[in-house]
Structure 1
Amino acid sequence: MIKVNDVAIAESAIHEEMQYHPADSQRQAMLKAAETLVIGEILRQRASHLGIDVADSHEQAGQNDFIEQLMAQDIDLPYASDEECHHYFDKNRQRFSTSPLLELRHILLAADPQDEVQRADSQTLADSLLLKLRGGADFAELAKQYSACPSKNTAGSLGQISAGQTVPEFERQVFAAEPGLLPAAIESRYGFHLVYIDRKIAGKPLDYPQVEARIRQYLNERVKAKATAHYIQSLIQETRLEGFDFSLSDSPLMQ
Structure 2
Amino acid sequence: MSDAFLPDIVVNGDTIPANEVSAELQNHDVPQGQQAMAWRRAARALTIRTLLLQEAKKRNLAATAQNIAPGKNETETEALIRALLEQALPETKPDETTLRAYYDANPERFRAPSLYEASHILFSADETEPSRQKARAKAIAALQILSQDPEQFRKLARAESDCSSRQSDGRLGQISRGETVEAFDRMLDQLEPGSIAPEPVETRFGFHILRLDARAEGAILPFENARPRIAEATEKAAWTRAANDFVTSLVKHADISGIDMRPE
> Given that residues 77 and 227 in structure 1 are in contact (C-alpha distance below 8 angstroms), is that contact kept between their aligned partners in structure 2?
no
CA pair 23-111 structure 1, distance change in 2 beyond 3 A: farther
1:126 pairs with 2:126: no
The 1-side partners of 2:163 and 2:223 are apart by: 40
Structure 1 residue identity aligned to 2:147: R
- Write out aligned runs for 1:60-209 (5 A): 61-112=75-126, 115-136=128-149, 138-180=152-194, 181-209=196-224
Q: Which residue of 2 aligns with 1:251?
A: none
The more displaced of 37-46 and 25-34 is 25-34
The more displaced of 207-216 and 103-112 is 103-112
The 2-side partners of 1:189 and 1:88 are apart by: 38
> Given that residues 54 and 63 in structure 1 are in contact (C-alpha distance below 8 angstroms), is that contact kept between their aligned partners in structure 2?
no
CA pair 225-195 structure 1, distance change in 2 beyond 3 A: same
1:21 pairs with 2:28: yes
Q: Secondary structure at 1:199's aligned position in 2?
A: strand
Could you report, residue by residue, the CA deviation over 1:51-108 in whole angstroms, capped at 9, with x for unpaired residues? 123798xx85434322221111112133211011111111111111211100101122
Residue 30 of structure 1: which of 39, 56, 61 is its match?
Answer: 39
TM-score by length of 1: 0.87
1:12 pairs with 2:19: yes
> Given that residues 97 and 203 in structure 1 are in contact (C-alpha distance below 8 angstroms), is that contact kept between their aligned partners in structure 2?
yes
1:234 pairs with 2:252: no
Cα shift at 1:148: 3.4
> Given that residues 114 and 176 in structure 2 are in contact (C-alpha distance below 8 angstroms), is that contact kept between their aligned partners in structure 1?
yes
1:50 pairs with 2:64: no
Q: Secondary structure at 1:138's aligned position in 2?
A: helix
Could you report, residue by residue, the CA deviation over 1:206-231 in whole angstroms, capped at 9, with x for unpaired residues? 11111111111111111111111111
Residue 211 of structure 1: which of 226, 229, 233 is its match?
Answer: 226
Question: Sequence identity, in percent?
Answer: 29
Q: Secondary structure at 1:159's aligned position in 2?
A: strand
Structure 1 residue identity aligned to 2:135: S
Structure 1, gaps ≥5 residues long: 248-253
Cα shift at 1:205: 1.9
Structure 2, gaps ≥5 residues long: 1-7, 66-72
Q: Secondary structure at 1:183's aligned position in 2?
A: coil
> Given that residues 187 and 197 in structure 2 are in contact (C-alpha distance below 8 angstroms), is that contact kept between their aligned partners in structure 1?
no
CA pair 35-121 structure 1, distance change in 2 beyond 3 A: farther
TM-score by length of 2: 0.84
CA pair 201-54 structure 1, distance change in 2 beyond 3 A: same
Structure 2 residue identity aligned to 1:70: L
